Amino acid sequence: MMKRKRVLGSAAIGAGLLAALLGLPPGAVAQPAPPSAAVSVLSPDIPAANSMAHAQQFQSIASSNGGNRAHGRPGYRASADFVKAKLDAAGFQTTLQSFTYQGATGWNLIADWPQGDPNQVVFLGAHLDGVPAGPGINDNASGSSAILETALAVARANAKPTKRLRFGWWGAEELGLIGSRYYVQNLPAAERSKISAYLNFDMVGAKGTRTWGVYTDTASLSAVFTEYFRSKGLPTQGFNIGARSDHASFKNAGIQVSGIASGNDPCYHARCDDINNIESSVMGHATNAAAYAAWKLAGIPEGAALPGAAYRPAG
């Protein structure tokens, strides 16, 4: 994530610092919500191992390409090619959009599921690039993996949403939201108006996460994430991330946005942001929160089922 070291506290952070990070009154700490008796949609119960496998692939790509996946470096294009191949095989309509920044070519990857009303788009996105210092696994192979697995779950279910589902992986976020801004600015106004929601997933795998951050930009979208985490008995805290991640490119164009983030990352923008810097259970919640939001906001019928996996109400 661009220009931020800490957003949320983890289990290792003292209560006072946690309260300060979350913007709570002195002495206050976010409390776990009681598990909900029911939620309003059925969503896939996606094993955490699925998104962890994608993150491991991003680690392998970095290890084979100079230790990073940064803009203009071979590890970035290899990351985009990996995601695109998965989506193409699953039946998505994919586009690699090129742009130039600091003398290097960057890439956005956009994938549409070819079902649902194309005039009403629910958009899930994550930045795909990291910094040159390390593999960029929490920041942001975690978000990239979570939405990739959500997209693949849509395909496995052969989902027939009411609205169109679109997924995006952004280039050069670490240099100032360059890729997502380029995408939005080059999208005709008529196409921008079709996007009913943009959901952002940036740094969603941090170890020890017990309190989840939910972007407060659009209350109705924030409520969807809160509903998911409440069904799991997990506390959330709303926070304003400002213009520090790719949702800002969409918000500035008048599009409703929200997103989630995990806890404190001691390896932020460092060499140690590798596969050992994320936690499987945290990745599982990030992925299932993304899927829950996709199923609910896009209107996937409750009868849609994953082959070989049972559907159940979240919780």
Residues identified as active-site: 173
In angstroms, the CA 72 to CA 188 distance is 27
**Structure token digits, residue 204:** 């969603």
Give the integer Cα–Cα distance in Å for 291 and 43.
Answer: 7
Task: State the Cα–Cα distance between residues 164 and 162, nearest whole angstrom.
Answer: 7
Q: In the sheet that 104-112 helps form, which strands lie side by side, from edge to edge? A: 93-101, 104-112, 163-170, 117-127, 195-201, 257-261, 212-215, 236-239
Residue 212 tokens, joined:
């989840």
- Cα-Cα-Cα-Cα dihedral of 182, 183, 186, 191, to 10°? -160
Question: Which among 244, 227, 209 is positioned nearest to 289, based on CA atoms?
Answer: 227
Q: Give strand pairing partners of 108.
A: 97
Residue 150: Cβ within 10 Å count = 29
Distance between CA atoms of 56 and 137, rounded to whole angstroms? 9
- Please give the DSSP secondary-structure letter assigned to residue 233: T
Distance between CA atoms of residues 210 and 229, nearest Å: 10
Q: Say which residue the tokens 């193409």 belong to.
A: 88
d(CA 99, CA 107): 6
Q: Where are the beta strands (DSSP E) in 82-136?
A: 93-101, 104-112, 117-127
